[in-house]
Structures are given as C-alpha cells and as structure tokens.
Structure 1
Amino acid sequence: MELDPKSLNPSDRYKLLIGSVVPRPIAFVSSLSSAGVVNLAPFSYFNAVGHKPLALMFSVSKKPDGSDKDTILNVRPVSAGGLGEYVINLAVSSYVQQVAEAAEPLPHSESEFDYLELTQAPSKLVAPPRVAESPVAFECKTIQIVPVGEFTMVIGEVVHMFIRDDLVDDRYHVDTDKLGAVGRLAGYDYCHIRDRFTIPNGFSAEKKAALKQSQ
C-alpha cells in the first residue's frame, strides 16, 4: 500500500500515525494560569529533545473551536501572557486511570486536581506544582514554542528533577520495572514496559572483523 498523506482526510492520517508510532510516552503536564489555577493534562506527542541542555518536548492540538488549550496559554513565555514554566510528570500504572480522566475538558477557571485523586506537591524552581504521586517529575522552563499547522510544539529546558529514591542507583541508572511507566497506543489502548531485550549498538564482533578484512 502506497499512501500520500495529503490525499487522506485528517482523521485517517491520525489513525495511521497513532497506530504506527507506538508506544508513545505520555507527558502529564501540570501548569499554572495567570489567575493561579493549576491545570493538569496528558499529551502523548511527547519525547526527549537532548541532554545538553536537558530538554523535553510535547505537542498540543487546538480545541475544537480552533483556540489554544489551557496548557499552551499557561506555558507561553511571560511576554506572551503565560508563565513560561511547567512540570512534566510521568504517566505510570498506579494512576493511569487519572491520567485518562485528566483529558476531560474543563473551564479555564477549574483545576483537574479538584476532580482527581491526586495530590499537589510544591516544586523547587518553578511555580506550578508537581504531582506528588509521580515517581519522576521534570521542572521545565519554556525555551521555544513552535507552531506546526494546527499543533503547537513546546520545547522546555529541565531546570530541576525529582526522582523517587528507590528508582535510581548510585550510577544514575533508573529501575524501569519499579518506574511502572505506561505508553499510549491507538484509540483507548495503553501498554506496560514489561518485555525487554538488549542489543548492543553497531555491528557485531563478527561483522566488525569482516569489515576490517574487506578494508
């Protein structure tokens, strides 16, 4: 099957994208409005940008009426009317139901924390709180906001990181099993990280030897 994305309607492109790009990590973003209302929302267009500096990105769609969602309004730089700060909490199995429920649209004046069985915890270097139940939380300051058609990509630098003590060893290796992160698939499906295997990067020793002989 050969497909031209421009020939497909947006809903079909969406189904092909989220069914193929799997699993996707979920950014559970807590942000703060100018009026002091805490917003909490999940985004599965999310990934790392790099570690020099330590940076993360997530992408947000528009509301059905074409306006920006609360998260975008909150994380914009101060010069654009936002706070320019937010926290990326992880989506984990112990509260994945609340992650899904947080996608429910609420008025800008209401906080998802008022409806979910989750707890706010103060952040160290940014104003928005983190989710106390999250095993890892990245406090971020907005570096850049990039419009991409009907989406808005937010790139932020991690200025502080919280990680639960039992998850990391003295070499800063994270215990994936204890972390319990969940990923997003298509539709309403999610997945756990339970089946793993290891493959070293690059050629095998046999292929490297053969390559040297050919040179």
Structure 2
Amino acid sequence: MEIDPELLAPSLRYKLLIGSVVPRPIAFVSSLSPEGVANLAPFSYFNAVGHIPLALMFSISLKPDGSEKDTLRNVRPPSEGGTGEYVINLAIESYAHQVAECAEPLPYGESEFDYVNLSPSPSKVVKPPRVAESPVAFECRTLQIVPVGQFHVVIGQVVHLFVRDTVLDERNRIDVDKVGAIGRMAGYEYCRTGDRFEIPNGFPKKDEG
C-alpha cells in the first residue's frame, strides 16, 4: 500500500505512526511553574540529540482547544513566561502505572507528584525537582523550542546528571537490566527492555579458504 499522509485523517496518521515507530522511549518530564508548582508528564516523542554537548529532545502536542500544555508553558524561557528548566526522568516498570496516570490532564497549578504519589527530590543545578524513584535523571535547560504544526519540539542541554549507584556496573556504566526502563508501543501497550540481542560491530571477516 502506498500512502499520501496528507490525504489521511489525523487520527489515522497517528495510529500508523505509533504502530510503526516502536518501541519509543518515554521522557518523564518534571517541570516547575513560575508560581512554584511542580508538574510531571510523560512524552513518548522523545530521544537523544547528541553528546557534544549532551542534549535531549522531546515533543509536546497542544491541547485539543489549541492552548499549551503545562509542561510547554513551564519549560519556555523566562522571557516567555516559563522557567526554562526541567528534568527528564526515566519511565521504569516499578512505577509504570503512575507514568500512565500522569498523562491525564489536571487543572493548571495542581501537582502530579501529589496525584500519583511519587516523591519530588531537589535537583542539583535546576529548580524543578527530579523524581526520587527514578534511577537516572537529566537536569536540563531549554536551548530551543521549535514549533512543528500542532507540536513543539523542545531541545535542552543536560547541565547535570543523576545516576543511582545501584544501577552502575564496575566500570561505571549503566546496567540496563537494573534500570528496568519501559517503552511505549501502540494503544495501551508498553514494553520491557529486558529482551535483547547483540550484533558485533563491523562486517564479518571473509572465509580465507
């Protein structure tokens, strides 16, 4: 089947996208309103930008009425009414249900931390708290916000990184089995990250015989 996406209803485009771009990592973003209220929300349009500098990106949709979601308002720079800072926490299996619950909209000014009973922990560099239960947390400052239709791509530089000692191996590398990260699939489905296989780098050597 050959498909012109412009001829599809947005709902069908969405279903084709989330059913084929899988699994998607989840940014569990904590931010802070100018009034000091902590916000927590998951975003599965998320990935790394690069490591020189260390930077991450995630994409936020507008609300159905066209207004901005709390996270977008909060991560905007101070000149645009936000704080320009946020923390990307990991979505892990032990609190997967709380991650999903944080996708439900709350009135502006109410904190998802209280709603889902997760613990805010003070960050080292930025003002928004990290999720204490998250084994890894990236403290970020907003570099750029790029509008793309009804979405805004937020690019941020990591200014501090928290990694729990218990998920590090003897070489100070992250043991992904100890992290227990989850990914987003289509519909209501999520996936675990424990089923993996290796492919050695480079081309296999030719048989000299």
TM-score, scaled to structure 2: 0.97
Which residue does 1:46 correspond to in 2?
46
Which residue does 1:154 correspond to in 2?
154
RMSD: 1.1
Which residue does 1:55 correspond to in 2?
55
Whole-angstrom distance in 2 between the partners of 1:106 and 1:205: 57
Give the match's secondary structure for 2:13. Answer: helix
Percent identical among aligned pairs is: 71
Gaps of 5+ in 2: none
Q: How many residues align?
A: 208
Which residue does 1:78 correspond to in 2?
78
- The 5 A counterparts of 1:126-137 are 126-137=126-137
Which residue does 2:197 correspond to in 1?
197
Give the drift of 1:2. Answer: 0.7
Give the drift of 1:80. Answer: 1.1
- The 5 A counterparts of 1:1-215 are 1-206=1-206
Query: What amino acid sits opposite 1:178 in the alignment?
Result: K
Give the drift of 1:201. Answer: 2.7
Query: What amino acid sits opposite 2:26 in the alignment?
Result: I
Whole-angstrom distance in 1 between the partners of 2:39 and 2:2: 41
Which residue does 1:213 correspond to in 2?
none
Give the drift of 1:116. Answer: 1.0
Which has the greater radius of gyration? 1
CA deviations over 1:145-169 (Å, ceiling 9, x no partner): 0001100000000000111101113
Give the drift of 1:205. Answer: 1.7
Query: What amino acid sits opposite 2:90 in the alignment?
Result: L
Detail structure 1 runs of 4+ shifted over 3 Å in the superposition: none
TM-score, scaled to structure 1: 0.94
Give the drift of 1:170. Answer: 4.5
Whole-angstrom distance in 1 between the partners of 2:34 and 2:141: 16
Whole-angstrom distance in 1 between the partners of 2:206 and 2:70: 54
